[in-house]
A and B are shown apart, each in its own frame.
Chain A
């Protein structure tokens, strides 16, 4: 497998920040990967996504030290809040999804084909004619992911993409990720939702204070927490819940 992104001992500091958001991080992302990135709030998961996709420091500023090689031609990014990611220029879902390929100046037919494919992947063809501002959060987030996919990115980074969604919408969104990866995209997924991440991820890293504290298969990494150890000791079947809320959810069930 060819590596799309290689980070070697990368340290990243935001402008105005005292300590680095990422410290001494080494990581490889290849086509077909679905890599779950976990960690508590402030652990640096969002920053890792931005650094791996080249958006930091190019777009958000800051300083990068260490070696970073990005072989990916294009990187896509999806955040938690769908409405901040709309262009505001498009009056239909189709136009919103087609915005990326249209920016590339592709012929009209190619633009529409790319948009159609992306909408099919996300199962939102029926929304094509709707106005984005009239959609629910879950529908809108699928539009946002489709819009990112329409660019045919080599790496797609999703930062807690289901944070604003209800459970069904979250499940539907996560189920798309293996499909995207199978088509040759490297997927990076930052999320505190280890249950869903564990279902779709092929690899996982855990961050704490900007450093990688665990790396490996989801079952290995998502278990390397106190809660997961307790769950394992109690005879819980894998994947193990790695924080208290997910343990409680498991127990309730």
Chain B
């Protein structure tokens, strides 16, 4: 699966991974309640295509684990694959061209991502992963919700917001690309 065709794809994948990992710094400075850790994946899906985007997602998860020392990110690589495929399809349909379509596309992506990440965190970790999602899970559980439901609702709430913002941001980036730069990405013209 990790067999990009050209140096250009490789460099763009590296860029996507860097965006995934660094944008969190800006989000943290703004104290926004999201991660936006798939902006690079979505961007590369729109600029290059699904295969490169999947690679961005997988490499990002591995590096995230390497940098934080926290392996529990790794199984969520599966979610990144789903995000990459969905984003490439959304880009193909031209959903990132306008804000009005990018945000609903992001909400759809959030639903899909949460449907994938909730079972992972339920089955592998009994609903426990690092981060804010777990706190929501615990609160819901304490309020009497069954574990499965608690994990799912927590994942959905964060993922919807996260992916809607990420898609909106990618849409803004794509529309801000100078013409000659945009022309270098045939996937955009489709």
A and B, direct touch (CB closer than 8 Å): yes
Binding site for B on A (CB under 8 A): 14-17, 59-61, 88
Give per-residue flags for B166-190: 1 if the beta carbon is below 8 A from chain A beta carbons, else 0. Answer: 0000000000000110111000000
Give 11 A-B pairs besides A14-B183, A15-B183 with Cβ atoms closer than 8 angstroms: A14-B180, A15-B180, A15-B184, A16-B180, A16-B182, A16-B183, A16-B184, A17-B179, A17-B183, A59-B8, A60-B184
Give 18 pairs: A residue, B residue, CB < 8 Å, sorted on A: A14-B180, A14-B183, A15-B180, A15-B183, A15-B184, A16-B179, A16-B180, A16-B182, A16-B183, A16-B184, A17-B179, A17-B180, A17-B183, A59-B8, A60-B184, A61-B183, A61-B184, A88-B14
Closest CB of chain B to A180's CB: distance in Å? 25
What residues make up the interface of B, taking CB atoms closer than 8 Å to A? 8, 14, 179-180, 182-184
Q: Given the complex of chains A and B, what is the CA–CA distance between A17 and B179 in angstroms?
A: 8
- Give the docked Cα–Cα distance between A17 and B181 (Å): 10
Residue of B nearest to A18 (CB): B179
Bound-state CA distance A17–B178 (Å) is 11
- The 10 tightest CB contacts between A and B, nearest first, are A16-B183, A15-B183, A16-B180, A16-B179, A14-B180, A17-B180, A61-B184, A15-B184, A16-B182, A14-B183
Chain A at the B interface: mostly helix, strand, loop or mixed? loop
How close is B99's CB to chain A, nearest CB, in angstroms? 23
- Chain A residue at minimum C-beta to C-beta distance from B183: A16
- In the assembled complex, the Cα of A60 lies from the Cα of B184 at a distance in Å of 8
Q: Which residue of B lies closest to A16 (CB)?
A: B183
Report chain A residues within 8 Å CB of B183.
14-17, 61
